[in-house]
Amino acid sequence: MSPAQKLEISCDDPEQKTTPGNLTPNETEILETVADAWNNIIRDVSGARTDSNIPANSDDKCGNFADDYVNIKTMLQTSSDGGGAENGDSEEVPNSGNGGGGKASSVLKPSPSVGMSLENLMEVPIGSSGKNGGSENGSATSMMDEAWEQLSRSYVYFKGQRVGTLAAIDTGGEALNYNQVFVRDFVPCGLACLMKTDADVDIVKNFLLKTLHLQGWEKRIDNFTLGEGVMPASFKVIQDPSRQKEVLQADFGGTAIGRVAPVDSGFWWIILLRSYTKCTHDYSLSELPQVQRGMKLILNLCLSDGFDTFPTLLCADGCSMIDRRMPEHDGKELIERIDKRITALSYHIQNYYWLDFTQLNNIYRYKTEEYSHTAVNKFNVIPESIPDWVFEFMPLRGGYFIGNVSPARMDFRWFLVGNCIAILSCLATPSQATAVMDLIEERWTDLIGEMPLKIAYPALEGHEWRSVTGCDPKNTRWSYHNGGSWPVLLWLLTAASIKTGRPQIAKRAIELVEQRLAKDGWPEYYDGITGRYIGKQARKYQTWSVTGYLVAKLMIENPSNLLIISLEEDKKIAKPKLTRSASWTF
Ligand code: GLC
């Protein structure tokens, strides 16, 4: 395969592959935001505006920041189963199965996370965070140490090499499938390995290659054959007694509880590949023919007809990983399809999914049964279908992307993952990104609570719980996926906070997590309206709860780590003109 045909992982200009040189304009922009953010943090923790070293006027905030910004810039420039999965490969066997009140103080306390001097932090190269992210604060340091220890206990070995992490190491409960390596769960683990001092890149590379290998299996569930690009939800290493060797067993949803198809695994795989490349500058991995093929299969799958219309799959921003032109042949054709899809997706998300006070008021006043292109109420939403809670919840300042949009029905619920990923992937406009962070501040008790972070708000109750969840006892109100609080989400909130120049938000959430998470044994999730109780069926020592915390700390202590996960805006995409007013600001 000639280089011209390759799908390139979007990191730097090709010239930078071996000798990282100047920052791209987008990186410069991110760093300017980060620089601003740090100035804000310093002001917050130093008690602020009376400090003679810090400008009293917020308009001056870039004033004395130039030096810090130059430091960051210099630093970056110089561092720079079942499921019927079967296969004839002797290494693998098919799976045997078939086919509170929000007690958060409004005054920010000095955080252990920012106790270090800014200069020291900024001199640390990308991928490093002091002593593996430890801070000077004793308890936070011991929590970091414990987290690294827990992470290392979770490693899964295959033929002597680390290839992933167990989802949980809870000896107290039934393992179910928590003794497997989940693709999505490994992402924060891999990021922690990449961001730490002396980045531990091997495990990430092994994981990417092993899961890619599993993608190559013929995937049959019942009598259906899954698309070639489908990545497994999870896999495990088992000892095959007949062959007396270790073999891999993968699940493509065929044995998952509820038989849920792993829609997101391929996206996460590409995202992690990009993070690996960004961190290591090792382009040889993404250029391997089998890796090229894997990427193309995933893209073909999510760019196929129907993928853009089926609501649960309308999250195809895995495409935005590839933000450089791919010159020829199938690469070129894929890029064109990606460009078209992102333009349409951006328009759709930014217009139809966006809700703020003004837009809520517009919907409240909608006329119905409109016909033709001039219709304002395009999806014929009946205003009476707006749930009462939205009117209470919506602040004057702030806004968010709602859960789903379909004819005559809008799911007005807040979902943290979608909102943060929209920010990190630039699907949100800058003013929408700011408004999302405003909303989090305005509705802190509801969205962050006592133990961060609510996965969705509000919980479904009564009739809605019965009809939507099918009376699922695990998803009772304010539990698990139905308004439960998931510590793993801390890393996403932190990344979005830093990207929007609002790291204080992450810092506040980290402080809450530091009060309980380790003491509670790193549970998978918390229950209750403010997330006060350890989840009913939550596993303890859930690996991604551990690494969600680690990644959040590694980013807050060294904001340049954000570049490993945040995507840059593709300037080429025509920005849809927003017809609605941006969120209300004072
Ligand atoms: C639960 C979560 C899923 C996670 C798995 C393993 O099923 O919903 O997202 O991957 O546990 O931790």
Confidence of residue 569 (pLDDT cuts 50, 70, 90): low
pLDDT at 321 over 80: no
Question: What residues does 240 pair with on adjacent strands?
Answer: 245
φ, ψ dihedrals at 234, nearest 5°: -160, 165
Structure tokens at 187: 């992402």
- Quote the CA–CA distance of 99 and 82 in Å, as a whole number: 5
* Contact criterion met (CB below 8 Å) for 301 and 226: no
pLDDT at position 28 is 62
Is-cis flag, bond preceding 453, omega within 30?
A: yes
Confidence of residue 141 (pLDDT cuts 50, 70, 90): confident
Confidence of residue 92 (pLDDT cuts 50, 70, 90): low
pLDDT at position 261 is 73
Neighbouring C-beta atoms of residue 462, cutoff 10 Å: 8
pLDDT at position 327 is 52
Ligand 1 atom nearest 178 alpha carbon: 6
pTM, full prediction: 0.78
Amino acid at 300: N
* Contact criterion met (CB below 8 Å) for 540 and 168: yes
466-470, 543-547, 575-579: least confident range: 575-579
Among protein residues, the one whose CA lies closest to atom 12 of ligand 1: 167
Stronger pLDDT, 10 or 131, i.e. the higher one: 10
What distance in angstroms lies between residue 251's CA and the mean position of ligand 1's atoms?
Answer: 13
Mean pLDDT across the chain, nearest whole number? 77
Q: How many Cα atoms sit within 13 Å of 572 on the Cβ side?
A: 11
Confidence of residue 225 (pLDDT cuts 50, 70, 90): confident
Q: Strands 354-356 and 399-406, how do they pair?
A: antiparallel
| Sequence-distant (≥ 6) Cβ neighbours of residue 180 within 8 angstroms | 166, 167, 234, 235, 236, 251
* Contact criterion met (CB below 8 Å) for 42 and 35: no
pLDDT at position 253 is 83
pLDDT at 390 over 70: yes
84-88, 384-388, 392-396, 430-434: least confident range: 84-88
Structure tokens at 218: 């013929």
Question: What residues does 467 pair with on adjacent strands?
Answer: none
Substitution candidate for ligand 1 out of 179, 184, 211, 542 with most atoms within 8 A of CB: 184
Q: Strands 155-158 and 224-225, how do they pair?
A: unpaired
pLDDT at 197 over 70: yes
pLDDT at position 137 is 64
The length of the chain in residues reads: 586
Comparing CA positions, the residue from 448, 457, 369, 455 lying closest to residue 408 is: 369
Comparing CA positions, the residue from 3, 7, 5 lying closest to residue 294 is: 7
Ligand 1 atom nearest 524 alpha carbon: 12
% the chain with pLDDT above 70: 70
Structure tokens at 215: 């993608």
- Quote the CA–CA distance of 534 and 517 in Å, as a whole number: 10
pLDDT at position 31 is 58
The residue to which tokens 């979007």 are assigned: 10
Task: List ligand 1's pocket residues with C-beta within 6 A.
Answer: 167, 178, 182, 184-185
pLDDT at position 586 is 34
Report the SS3 class of residue 411: strand
Maximum average pLDDT range among 6-20, 218-232, 293-307, 424-438: 424-438
pLDDT at position 444 is 98
* Contact criterion met (CB below 8 Å) for 452 and 152: no
Ligand 1 atom nearest 481 alpha carbon: 8
pLDDT at position 305 is 67
- Quote the CA–CA distance of 40 and 409 in Å, as a whole number: 41
Neighbouring C-beta atoms of residue 207, cutoff 10 Å: 27
pLDDT at position 319 is 30
- Quote the CA–CA distance of 80 and 305 in Å, as a whole number: 40
Scored b (16 or more CB within 10 A) or e, 145-183 reads eebbebbeebbbebeeebbbbbbbbbeeeeeebbebbbb
Report the SS3 class of residue 538: coil
Order of strands, edge to edge, in the sheet holding 245-251?
181-182, 234-240, 245-251
Stronger pLDDT, 175 or 355, i.e. the higher one: 355
Burial class (CB in 10 A: 0-12, 13-18, 19+), 488: buried
Stronger pLDDT, 315 or 261, i.e. the higher one: 261
Amino acid at 27: E
pLDDT at position 335 is 84
The residue to which tokens 């013929």 are assigned: 218
Beta strand ranges found along 337-440 (DSSP E)? 354-356, 399-406, 409-415
Substitution candidate for ligand 1 out of 177, 182, 269 with most atoms within 8 A of CB: 182
Among protein residues, the one whose CA lies closest to atom 8 of ligand 1: 481
pLDDT at 322 over 60: no
Q: Strands 234-240 and 181-182, how do they pair?
A: antiparallel
Ligand 1 atom nearest 185 alpha carbon: 10
pLDDT at 63 over 90: no
* 237-255 average pLDDT score: 92
Tally of helices (H runs) and strands (E runs) in the chain: 19, 13
pLDDT at position 29 is 63
* Contact criterion met (CB below 8 Å) for 418 and 401: yes
pLDDT at 219 over 60: yes
Q: For residue range 400-449, list pLDDT tens digits in order.
A: 999 888 888 899 999 999 999 999 999 999 999 999 999 999 999 999 99
pLDDT at position 88 is 35
Question: What residues does 415 pair with on adjacent strands?
Answer: 456
* Contact criterion met (CB below 8 Å) for 10 and 322: yes
First to last CA, the chain: 56
pLDDT at 8 over 70: yes
The residue to which tokens 């003109």 are assigned: 577
pLDDT at 249 over 50: yes
Substitution candidate for ligand 1 out of 185, 488, 545 with most atoms within 8 A of CB: 185
Q: For residue range 442-477, list pLDDT tens digits in order.
A: 999 999 999 999 999 999 999 999 988 889 999 999
Q: How far is CA 567 from CA 95, 259, 384, 444, in A?
A: 36, 32, 39, 26
* 324-329 average pLDDT score: 38
- Is the Cα dihedral 487, 491, 496, 501 positive or negative? positive
pLDDT at position 10 is 64
* Contact criterion met (CB below 8 Å) for 448 and 440: yes
* Contact criterion met (CB below 8 Å) for 230 and 218: no
Question: What residues does 164 pair with on adjacent strands?
Answer: 156
The DSSP output letter for 478 is T
Confidence of residue 568 (pLDDT cuts 50, 70, 90): confident
pLDDT at position 215 is 93
Per-residue HEC secondary structure of 92-157 comes to ECCCCCCCCCCCCCCCCCCCHHHCCCHHHHHHCCCCCCCECCECCCHHHHHHHHHHHHHHHHCEEE
Confidence of residue 509 (pLDDT cuts 50, 70, 90): very high
Stronger pLDDT, 404 or 388, i.e. the higher one: 388
pLDDT at 274 over 50: yes
What distance in angstroms lies between residue 167's CA and the mean position of ligand 1's atoms?
Answer: 8
* Contact criterion met (CB below 8 Å) for 134 and 141: yes
Confidence of residue 250 (pLDDT cuts 50, 70, 90): very high
Confidence of residue 336 (pLDDT cuts 50, 70, 90): confident
% the chain with pLDDT above 90: 55
- Quote the CA–CA distance of 61 and 55 in Å, as a whole number: 6
pLDDT at 86 over 50: no
